[in-house]
Chain A
Amino acid sequence: MTDLETFRTETCAWLEDNCPAEMRTDMSGDNDACWGGRNFKFQSEAQKVWLERCAAKGFTAPSWDKKYGGAGLNRAQEQVLRQEMKRINARPPLSSFGVWMLGPALLKFGSEDQKLEYLPPITRGEIRWCQGYSEPGSGSDLASLQTKAEDKGDHYLVNGQKVWTSYADKADWIFCLVRTDNSGSKHEGISFLLFDMETPGVEAKPIKLISGKSPFCETFLTDVKVPKRNLVNEEGQGWNIAKYLLTHEREMIGETGAARPVSEMAVDLAGLEDGKLADPILRGEIAQAEVDDWAFKMTMGRMLGEAKAGASLGAKSSMLKYYGTELNKRRYELLMDAAGGDGLEWEGERSDDGRLAKSWMRTKGNSIEGGTSEVMLNIVAKRVLDMPGA
C-alpha cells in the first residue's frame, strides 16, 4: 500500500469511530454551522464532541503544522480527508475566519511567537475572529482607509470606524487594517493589527440585511489601546498582508454553491410534467447553469493543481471569485423561478421561515463581499491579461 492509501484507510477508520451520527446529516444553513468562540452555544453535544475530536486530531486546520494545532497534512492527504469526509457526509467541524483567513496570513507574515499564541486556539475553536477591513469611505478602494493607529510607545491608539464587519458582535478578536502613516502613497502606511473585541473603546452594532438577518456590523473604534506586539510583521506591511489574505478569501468565496445540483432542487420545487420541467426555457437555463457549474468546479481543481505544480494562482483567484459568485447568484435566481409564489414566502413554517427566499437574497452579497465583481474584472484585466492603464 502506498503512504496515501494507508492514510486513507486510517482516516476512514478514524472518521467512522469519531464522527457522531448527528454530524453526518445535511446542514440546513448557517444556523447549523459550528463557529466556536468564547460565547458560542453548541447546538448539541454531538457538535461539541465532533469539534473537540477533530481539534485534537488537527483536522480543523489539516494543512497547518502540528505545533500550531494542525495535522501537518500535504495537499494530497488533505484532499483524501476532504473526500472521506464528503463520503460519510460529515459536517465541517468548524467554520472559522481564523482558519480560512487569518491563519494563512499569520503563517506567512507572523512571528513565531504570534503563530504559537494565536493559531492553536483558532484550531480548537476557542477564539473566533472577524475581519476589520472596510470602512464607510473605503470599500472597493480599500487602500484609502482612514482608521488611524498612533504610536504611543508601548501601544497603538486606534481611532476610526469599520463597517460590514461580518459577525463582529459575535467575534472575540479582530484582525484590522489601520493607517500608521499618512505621508506616502495610500498603499503605504497601512498596518495589520490584532486585538481583542473586549478592549475598551470597541463597539459593534449589528446592521440588518435584506435577507432579514444581521450577520454584519458597524464597528466603532474609539481610543482603543493595542499593544505593540499585536502588530503583524512591520508597520507599512498591512497592504501586502491584506492582498495575500484576500487571495485566500477569494478562492474560498468562489467555492460557495448549493450542496445539491440546481436541477434536483428545481425538480423538488416545481415538479415534473411528463418527466420534464414544465417551463422549457427554465429547463434550458438550468441545464446551462449545471454545465457551467460542472466546468467551473473542474476549473477550480485544475487551477489549484497548476498552482501546486509551480505556477502561482495569484490574480487568477479573482477570476474564480468572479465566476463562482456570479454563478451562485444565477443558481438562486433559477431556483426562485422554479419555486414561483411558494418561494416568495418570507415567514412561517411552510417555507421554513423563508429559507429559499432568504438564501436567494444572501447570494446577492457574494459578488460584493471580498471584492466586487467589477473589481475582480479590473484585477483580471490588469494583472492576468496585462491590459494597459491605471
Chain B
Amino acid sequence: MGLLLNEDEVMIRDMAEGFFADKAPVSELRRLRDTKDETGFDRALWTEMAQMGFAGVLIDDDHGGNGMGYMAAGLIAEQIGKNLSATPFLSTAVLAATALSKGGSEAQKSEWLPKIADGSTIMALALDEGGKHNPKKTATTAEKSGNGFKLNGSKAMVADGHVADKLIVVARTSGDVGDPDGLSLFLVDPKADGVSVERTIMADSRNSARVELDNVEVDGDAVLGDIESGDATLDAVLKAGRAALSAELLGAGQEAFDQTLGYLKERKQFGKIIGEFQALQHRAAHMYGEIEVARSAVLAALTALDSGDENADLYVSMTKAKLGKTAKHISVEGIQLHGGVGMTDEYDIGLFSKRIRVAQEMFGDANFQLDKIASAKKF
C-alpha cells in the first residue's frame, strides 16, 4: 500500500478543500453558535453539498449517488474537520447511507437513498445510551407487538437527532444487555407517538440530541433489512463512522497544529520569536511526527474499506485509536503553546479542542478501540 492519492482523489480533495474553506469556514460555526441557529447547520449549504456529490459518496449510482467510496468520504470529512464545518455529512451521508446501503431492503434503499443523495432527507443514528460508547450494553428493547414492534429506551449523543426526518434506532431484539449480538435497526419517525427528542447543546456547538422511546409502535417494515442482519449492518455502520470521524480528527488535528505552529513563528517574548526556544521546537517536531503517522493510518483504513480488506475493521479501530490520541494531544498542546490567548473565545484553537474532544469520544475513544484491538488480536 503506497497510500498515495490517485488523480481522482486529488481532484476530490482539492474540490472539498476549496468548498469548505469558502462556504463553511470556522466563522460560519461561530455564526450558527452565536445566533443559536435552530437547525444547527445551513440547509442551503447541505443542498449545495448534495449538488457537489458529497451527500452521495457512499451511495451507488442506481440509488442516486456516485459511489465514490470511503477514500472520497474521508477526504471530505478531513476538510470538514479542518474548517469545523457544521453539516449533517456524518449522520446522513456516512452513517445513514451505510446503514441503508448495507442493511436495507431493496424497497428501503429505493425510497431513502436517493433522498439522502439529493440532500432532501436528514437521518440520525440513535445508538449510544450512556456516556461511553458500548453497543453491547444496548438496553433499548424492541418487542414484538402485533405485526410490528414496540420500542422502549433512551438514547444519547445522537448527532443531528433534533433535525432528523428519520431516526435509525438500534434496539435489542434478543439476548441480554452485555451480549454482543441481538441488535436490530429500526427506521423511526421522530414525530411518532412516544418519541421525544431533546436537542443537547454540546461543547463543540454541533448538533446532538437525546432521544426517549416510550412504547413507540412501529410496523414490521420499519425494520432495516431484517432482524437477524442488524448486527452485521451495525458493524458496517460503525466502521464507516469511525473511519469518517478519524478523517475529521485528522483535518482538525492538522489545522490545530498548523495554527499553533503559525503562532510559534509569530509571537515574541524575551526579545525572541517563541519558536526559537528549543523546548517548544521539540514539542512541535514531536507533534509533526505524530500527525504524519496518524495521516498514514487514516489513509490505510480508508483504502482497506474501499478494497473490502478482511482486516478493515481492525485497521479502522487502530486508526480511531491513533487519531483519538493524537488529535487530543495536539489540542492540549495547542492551547498551552498559545498562552493566554489560547483561552480566549476569539482564537480558534479552543474551538478545535472542543470538536476534537467530541469526535474522539464518538463511537469509541482510544481506550475502547485498544481493548477491541487487543481482543481481536487475542491478547
Contacts from A to B (Cβ < 8 Å): 261, 263-264, 266-267, 272, 275-277, 283-284, 286-288, 290-292, 294-296, 298-299, 301-303, 305-306, 309, 319, 322-323, 374, 376-378, 380-382, 384-390
Contact = CB atoms under 8 A, between A and B. Distances in A.
B285 A380 contact: yes
Contact of A290 (B273, B371, B377): B377
Contacts of A267: 378-379
Contact of B296 (A286, A295, A387): A295
Contacts of A272: 378-379
Contact of B370 (A284, A377, A378, A385): A284
Contacts of B297: 291, 294-295, 298
3 closest A-B pairs by CB: A389-B276, A381-B281, A298-B296
B23 to A, nearest CB: 30
A287 to B, nearest CB: 4
Nearest to A374: B282
Interface string B248-281: 0000000000000100110000001101111001
Contacts of A263: 374, 377, 379
Given A275-B378, A287-B370, A381 B285 contact: yes
Contacts of B265: 386-388
B284 interface: yes
Interface string B349-378: 000000000000000001100110111011
Contact of B2 (A287, A295, A302, A319): A302
A292 B285 contact: no
B322 interface: yes
A301 B288 CA distance: 17
A74 to B, nearest CB: 15
Nearest to A261: B377
A276 B289 contact: no
Contacts of A294: 297, 300, 315, 318
A294 B228 CA distance: 34
B366 to A, nearest CB: 8
A114 B254 CA distance: 46
B305 interface: no
Contacts of A283: 374, 379
Contacts of B319: 295
Given A295-B318, A381-B284, A388-B265, 13 more contacts: A261-B377, A283-B374, A284-B370, A284-B374, A291-B322, A295-B319, A301-B1, A302-B3, A305-B3, A319-B292, A381-B285, A387-B276, A389-B275
Residue of B2, B285, B292, B319 with highest tally of chain A CB at under 10 A: B285
B321 interface: yes
A323 B293 contact: yes
B100 interface: no
A305 B4 contact: yes
A390 B272 CA distance: 12
B275 A380 contact: no
12 contacts: A284-B374, A286-B379, A287-B371, A291-B373, A292-B293, A294-B300, A294-B318, A298-B293, A299-B293, A377-B281, A378-B282, A389-B276
Contacts of B295: 299, 302
Contacts of A376: 285
Nearest to A295: B297
A362 B282 CA distance: 25
B370 A291 contact: yes
A288 B282 contact: no
B374 A298 contact: no
Contact of B321 (A288, A301, A322, A380): A288
B3 A301 contact: yes
A232 B263 CA distance: 44
Contacts of B276: 387-390
A80 to B, nearest CB: 14
A387 B261 CA distance: 8
A122 B21 CA distance: 54
Contacts of B171: none
A378 B4 contact: no
A317 to B, nearest CB: 12
A150 to B, nearest CB: 37
B36 interface: no
A231 to B, nearest CB: 35
B288 A380 contact: yes
A333 to B, nearest CB: 17
Contacts of A292: 293, 322
Given A288-B370, A305-B3, A299 B292 contact: yes
A301 B299 CA distance: 12
A323 B286 CA distance: 9
A276 B272 CA distance: 52
A320 to B, nearest CB: 8
B29 interface: no
B325 interface: yes
Contacts of A288: 321, 325, 366, 370
A61 B297 CA distance: 31
Nearest to B303: A298
A301 B300 CA distance: 11
A287 B373 CA distance: 7
A301 B3 CA distance: 8
Contacts of B59: none
